Structure formats: C-alpha cells, structure tokens
Structure 1
Amino acid sequence: MVSRVPEVLLRHRIRIEPYTGDSAYGPAYGPPAEAVPALVDLTPRMVRAPDGREVTGAATFIAAPDIVCPPGSRVTLPDGRTATALTITRHTAPGLPVPACTEVSCE
C-alpha cells in the first residue's frame, strides 16, 4: 500500500520560508526549509485566495504530506522566482492505494 507520494516522483527542489505572522516591519517568516522535494507546475491558473478573491496562480506544486507551508509562506521556485503560498490542500485517502500529498497553489 502506498502511504505517501514517492520522493522519486518529486523531481524539483524548492525553498519554503513558512509564514509566522505579521510584525511591525511586515510579514515574518520562520527558518527556511532548503531543497524541499516537489513536483512543480508553472502553468498559470485561477485560484481562490483565502480572502475569497480570485487571482491568477503563478505555480502549483505537490510535495510530501507533512511539509510546513501555511498560507502566506514565501516559496522559491526552481527557476528562482519567489511566490507566495495561497492555498494548501492535503490529499489523503486512508485505506486506498493512492499516495498522500500536499498541493500548494502560489501567487
């Protein structure tokens, strides 16, 4: 039985700086996670942001089910661009032979 997406399928490496809140100087981020295995799709698509507005997402990636990437996190994509995590979806199917993963859409 497959319990999580196999790392061999996560061909890209990204950097995630988890959003921790706002400070007097703007957004605050936790320690960065370097070289996070992910499968990145750079195709633009419409995404509904947490505040309800529709925005064009710059990228979507799939990673391990246990990554730490709350909305607002700063993500450095494989091509060097920096994006902001908008939506985070955890995909699980307990008891079924499909991999668990996390899907993140970025602005």
Structure 2
Amino acid sequence: MDRVLWRLLMATIPRRFLVHAITIEPYLGDSSTGPQYGPPVSVACLLDEQTRGVRSPGGEQVTSTSTAYCLPGITAAPFSRVTLPSGRITKVIQTKNRDGKGLGTPNHVEIQLE
C-alpha cells in the first residue's frame, strides 16, 4: 500500500472500532451543594472494561476500571461524570491525547475512568 495513503488511513482510530457510546457530563467545579456538572454529551468510543493501576493528575496511584478510546478532539476533564453503556456511573481520572505523529499508529484520546 502506498505510504501516504497508509498515513491518511491511520490518521485517527477507525470509526468502525467505535462500537460503544458513553455520556460525559463535564466537571465544572464544586459548590456548597456538591460537584457541578455541565450538560451531558454522548461520545462514540471503544470501551475496555479492564482494571489496572494508573496515576491521577495529582500523582497518586489509583485504580482504573475502564478505559474509553475516542476520536481526537474529545475532552473530558478530571472528575467529569461518565455514564457507561451498562448504566454504571463513574468519573474521569485523566485524559490522554495519543498522537502517533505519522508513525502509523492511530491518533486517539484515551479516557481513564474510576
């Protein structure tokens, strides 16, 4: 396959892999009544429900029970509320932008969830 065509095809994670949908309510901060969230947004993703240890933005070692792989450009601030396809509600630990810079790996956003 032509090298340029290969790079174009692998620019982002293929949409056919985005077989799940999660709902993200962005974390806006705390108030006297508790955490405040913005309006919910549905996001197509590939959801991997696997438990693993990750580091939080504060540097603590925490347990992630799920990871959502999404198209580039998706944002999910730490502490945002996420509803999984099963109905389980969880929170964002951290979001990582994965950019292969033309190395042939698909660019995507990785959202690590509690």
Using structure 2 for the length normalisation, give the TM-score.
0.85
Contact 1:16/1:75 (<8 A) preserved: yes
On the 8 A contact 2:68/2:110 being kept in 1, the answer is yes
The worse-fitting range, judged by mean Cα deviation, of 95-104 and 68-77 is: 95-104
Select 1:38's aligned residue among 32, 45, 66.
45
* Bigger CA radius of gyration: 2
Task: Say whether residues 1:94 and 2:112 are aligned partners.
Answer: no
Does residue 64 (structure 1) correspond to residue 82 (structure 2)? The answer is no
The TM-score with structure 1 as length reference comes to: 0.90
Spell out, residue by residue over 1:43-98, the C-alpha distance to the aligned partner (whole angstroms, 9 max, x if none): 11111112222121111110111112111111111111111000110001223333
In structure 2, what residue type is equivalent to 1:29? Answer: Y
Gaps of 5+ in 2: 1-7
Aligned equivalents of 1:33 and 1:82: distance in 2? 14
Preserved contact between residue 90 and residue 113 of structure 2 (Cα < 8 Å): yes
> How many Å apart are 1:40 and its aligned residue?
0.7
Deviates more, 1:8-17 or 1:21-30: 21-30
Aligned residue in 2 for 1:53? 60
2:85 counterpart residue number: 78
Higher helix proportion (structure 1 or 2):
2
Q: More strand per residue: 1 or 2?
A: 1
What percent identity do the matched residue pairs reach? 42
How many residues are treated as equivalent by the alignment? Answer: 106
Q: Unmatched 5+ residue regions in structure 1?
A: none
